Amino acid sequence: MATRAAHKRLTREYASITANPPPFIAARPSEQNILEWHYILTGPPQTPYEGGQYWGTLIFPPDYPFAPPAIRMHTPSGRFRCSERLCLSISDFHPKSFNPAWEVSTILLGVQSFMTSEEMTTGSVSASESERKTLAARTRWWNSTGGGSTERRLQGQGAMNSNRRGFGAIKSGDGGKRFREMWPELDEENWKWMEESRIDPQTGKSLVVSQQSCAPEADALRKSVGSGAAAVMEGGRDVGAAGQGWVRRHAVWIVVAVVFAYVLAMRVVSEG
């Protein structure tokens, strides 16, 4: 239970961060426990996390601000291990270095700054830029479905896949229940986005099947139809590529045919 001083301080900080939120940061305490805060970091532009929705928690000690919180990020990011405590100078790993003048906004700005760096610490991981971009694109799905563990379906979607954890799910979750409790407005936006984009709640993959011809040659020729030499040249390059693909697929049979023809020709010559 929070001390009276901690409760008063956190109440004031909630009013402050709500009125003047730092860029790409939102935070609020749990209604049941003011020491449990939930935050959302939106991936800043020109970073591998751009547009990502990163959900995490700050668990404050009863004697805050004289001791720092435990910091966790629950959404897969390619930067931090999911739901593990982070060792930062502003976290409970280093209580002696914590400054009581620091506020929730200061702490979250520190998390944001560390996230966009490449410095390593306890709870951090290494990943390529492309991996982090892929995870960023899946954050909204992951938050609102618990990593594919939800039983909710899209309108008009068929029967549930037997893989209830979801393809590529980081871990089995609570179906997004906890996220929905803390961020109902974001959860609603996320589900609207999944509906509009036809994202499978159990897999995070698109339900829209692209219409492609079975024959790559036909697709290439289709591209050449239209006005302008550029379109014709592009179609011609695609036809050539499709032809080369056919040769590679049937290389063994081509070699056999050539050898057979050679042997047959030699027999004809020798008999002659």
Give the length of the chain.
Answer: 272
3-state helix, strand, coil in the chain (%, to 5): 45, 10, 45
Preceding peptide of 48 cis, ω within 30°: no
d(CA 109, CA 193): 28
Per-residue pLDDT, 166: 36
pLDDT, position 218: 39
* 29 three-state secondary structure: strand
The active-site residue out of 87, 207, 221, 242 is 87
CA–CA distance, 25 with 107 (Å, rounded to integer) = 11
Q: Which residues 6+ apart lie within 8 Å of 35 measured at CB?
A: 2, 6, 10, 29, 59, 60, 61, 62, 64
214 is catalytic: no
User: Could you tell me the residue ranges of all domains in the chain?
Assistant: 4-115, 129-154+164-197, 216-271
pLDDT in tens, 72-127: 999 999 999 999 999 999 999 999 999 999 999 999 999 999 999 999 999 999 99
Q: Regarding the domain delimited by 4-115, which CATH topology (the fold level of the hierarchy) does it fall under?
A: Ubiquitin Conjugating Enzyme (3.10.110)
For the sheet with 36-42, list strands across it: 25-29, 36-42, 53-59, 70-73
Q: What is the pLDDT of residues 17-35, one digit of tens each?
A: 999 999 999 999 999 999 9
Cβ atoms of 231 and 246 within 8 Å: the answer is no
In the structure encoding, which two tokens stand for residue 217, read together?
């040659």
pLDDT of residue 269: 63
Tens digit of each residue's pLDDT, the chain (272 residues)? 899 999 999 999 999 999 999 999 999 999 999 999 999 999 999 999 999 999 999 999 999 999 999 999 999 999 999 999 999 999 999 999 999 999 999 999 999 999 999 999 999 999 999 999 999 999 999 999 999 999 999 987 765 543 443 333 334 478 999 999 999 999 999 999 999 999 999 999 999 875 454 444 434 334 433 433 333 334 444 434 445 555 566 666 676 677 667 666 666 666 65
